[in-house]
Structure 1
Amino acid sequence: MIKNSITNLICCLFFLSTASIFAQTEIAEKRVTDLTNLEISKGISLHIISPEPIQFVDLSTNNLTGDLPAENIARIKITDILESDSAATKKNIDLNNLGVITIVCQSFMAQYKINYLDFERKAVTNIQIQPEDMQPLEYPKLAFSSTELQKFSLDILRKKLVGKPIREVINLKLTMQINNVYVVNDYIFLDMTFLNSTNLGYDIDAIKFSVEDKKIYKATNNQSITLEPIYQLYRQKEFKKNYRNIYVFKKFTYPNSKVMKIRLLEEQLSGRAIEMKVKYSDILNADTF
Structure 2
Amino acid sequence: MKRLLFILSVFFLFSMACNAQDCIEVCENKATHIISNEKITYLQVGDHDKIMAEIVPEHPNLVRVKAVKNFEGETSLTLVSANKVYSLFVKYADTGRLSWQLEDFHFQKNGNLTTGRIPDYLLKELGFQILSRNQKHIKKRKKKKDGIRFQLSNIYLKNDALFFELEITNQTNLGYEVEGFHWWIGDKRQYKATNVQEYPVEPEYQHYNIRYIPAKTKLREVFVLPKLTIPDKRILTIEMLEKALGNTGRKLSLEVKNRDIFQARTF
**TM-score, reference length from structure 2:** 0.55
Q: 2:82 aligns with which of 23, 45, 49?
A: 49
Give structure 1 regions of 4+ aligned residues with deviation exceeding 3 angstroms: 70-73, 162-166, 215-219
Quickly say closer, same or farther: Cα 1:156–1:163, change in 2 above 3 A.
closer
CA distance in 1, matches of 2:257, 2:109: 38
Q: Find out whether 1:280 has 2:255 as its counterpart.
A: no
Q: Do 2:155 and 2:162's aligned partners in 1 also have CA atoms closer than 8 Å?
A: yes
Kindly provide the amino acid, as one letter, of the partner of residue 50 in structure 1.
Answer: N
CA distance in 1, matches of 2:241, 2:181: 6
CA distance in 1, matches of 2:255, 2:182: 12
Q: Find out whether 1:268 has 2:244 as its counterpart.
A: yes
> Following superposition of structure 1 onto structure 2, how do residues 12-51 of structure 1 map, counting pairs within 5 Å?
49-51=82-84
Stretches of structure 1 lacking an aligned partner (at least 5 in a row): 1-47, 54-69, 74-104, 108-140
Residues 95-150 of structure 1: per-residue CA shift (max 9 Å, x gap):
xxxxxxxxxx579xxxxxxxxxxxxxxxxxxxxxxxxxxxxxxxxx9611221111
Q: Find out whether 1:237 has 2:215 as its counterpart.
A: no
Task: Tell me the C-alpha RMSD between the 2 structures.
Answer: 2.7
Q: Do 2:137 and 2:154's aligned partners in 1 also have CA atoms closer than 8 Å?
A: no
Describe the SS at the equivalent of 2:129: helix
Q: Find out whether 1:253 has 2:229 as its counterpart.
A: yes
Matching residue of 1:198:
172
CA distance in 2, matches of 1:196, 1:146: 30
Structure of larger gyration radius: 1
Kindly provide the amino acid, as one letter, of the partner of residue 193 in structure 1.
Answer: E
Kindly provide the amino acid, as one letter, of the partner of residue 185 in structure 1.
Answer: N
Describe the SS at the equivalent of 2:266: coil
> Following superposition of structure 1 onto structure 2, how do residues 137-286 of structure 1 map, counting pairs within 5 Å?
143-162=117-136, 165-216=139-190, 217-218=192-193, 221-240=195-214, 241-269=217-245, 270-286=248-264
Quickly say closer, same or farther: Cα 1:172–1:150, change in 2 above 3 A.
same
Q: Do 2:167 and 2:218's aligned partners in 1 also have CA atoms closer than 8 Å?
A: yes
Matching residue of 1:38:
none
CA distance in 1, matches of 2:133, 2:177: 27
Q: Do 2:84 and 2:108's aligned partners in 1 also have CA atoms closer than 8 Å?
A: no
CA distance in 1, matches of 2:108, 2:254: 34
Quickly say closer, same or farther: Cα 1:161–1:268, change in 2 above 3 A.
same
Q: State the identity %.
A: 27
Kindly provide the amino acid, as one letter, of the partner of residue 258 in structure 2.
Answer: Y
CA distance in 1, matches of 2:157, 2:138: 19
Q: Do 1:166 and 1:282's aligned partners in 2 also have CA atoms closer than 8 Å?
A: no
Kindly provide the amino acid, as one letter, of the partner of residue 208 in structure 2.
Answer: Y
Describe the SS at the equivalent of 2:260: helix
CA distance in 2, matches of 1:232, 1:183: 15
Quickly say closer, same or farther: Cα 1:283–1:164, change in 2 above 3 A.
closer
CA distance in 2, matches of 1:285, 1:164: 9
Kindly provide the amino acid, as one letter, of the partner of residue 283 in structure 1.
Answer: I
CA offset at residue 251 of structure 1?
0.8
Q: Do 1:191 and 1:245's aligned partners in 2 also have CA atoms closer than 8 Å?
A: yes
CA distance in 2, matches of 1:176, 1:106: 29
Q: Do 2:166 and 2:221's aligned partners in 1 also have CA atoms closer than 8 Å?
A: yes
Residues 14-68 of structure 1: per-residue CA shift (max 9 Å, x gap):
xxxxxxxxxxxxxxxxxxxxxxxxxxxxxxxxxx822569xxxxxxxxxxxxxxx
